[in-house]
Structures are given as C-alpha cells and as structure tokens.
Amino acid sequence: MDEFTRELWKRMDEAEALGCRMVKFRQTVTKYGGVETAKEYLRKNRYSDGFDGLEAKKRLDLSMEALVTKGRFSALFTDDEVNRCFDRLCGAGYYIWKE
C-alpha cells in the first residue's frame, strides 16, 4: 500500500470516529487505492464522502481534499486537481497554513 493510501486510511478512521460515515468511499479506496479514488472523485467533480460532516465539525484537515494539497503528496496530482481541492477547502473556510 502506498503512503498516500495509508495516510488516507488513517484520516478515514479518525473521521468515522467523529461520526462521519464513509462506507462507499472506503470501498472505492479498497478497490482502486487512494490516489486513483481521489482522481476519480475530482474528475467527476465530487466532494469526498464525509466532507460536509467534517466541515460541520471543523475537521476538514481529515478530508481527502486536504491530503491532496499536502506538499508531499501534491506531486501525485495535476495542478488542476490540487487547485480544485484548494478551492473546495477555501470555499468551506478552511486554510492550510503549514504542512
């Protein structure tokens, strides 16, 4: 399992502990891996499962979108994909100040 997918799993576990359900997202990550799942969600212009719940709990740091924008993972994605994630996070009032 690649590092992005491992980190995504940890974030999903923490998000679910907060009450944000991610059943379909987990199934997709299991089948295709984290990077391909993220790319597919972005291609379809979908927010990750649990995004709204994480936004309500002020924990968007646990979202797939926040992980995509991390410097160590952004090279796995196109500029457009990373920018889409930044736009979503900014639209939700979340700003990343440090890695």
Per-residue model confidence as pLDDT tens digits over 5-15: 999 999 999 99
Q: Is the pLDDT of residue 22 over 60?
A: yes
Contact 11, 34 (CB under 8 A): no
Mean pLDDT of 17-31: 93
Whether the Cβ atoms of residue 38 and residue 74 lie closer than 8 Å to each other: no
Q: What is the mean pLDDT of residues 81-86?
A: 95
Report CA-CA distances (Å) from 97 to 4, 61, 69, 86: 20, 11, 11, 12
For residue range 28-81, list pLDDT tens digits in order.
999 999 999 999 999 999 999 889 999 999 999 999 999 999 989 989 999 999
Residue 86 to residue 42: CA distance in whole angstroms: 12
The pLDDT value given to residue 74: 86
pLDDT (average), residues 6-29:
94
CB distance 86 to 93 below 8 Å? no
| Pair of tokens at residue 2 | 């690649």
Q: Domain segments of the chain: what residues?
A: 3-91
- Given a contact cutoff of 8 angstroms between Cβ atoms, the answer to whether 26 and 12 are in contact is yes
| 3-state secondary structure string across 32-56 | HCHHHHHHHHHHCCCCCCCHHHHHH
What was the pLDDT predicted at 99?
43
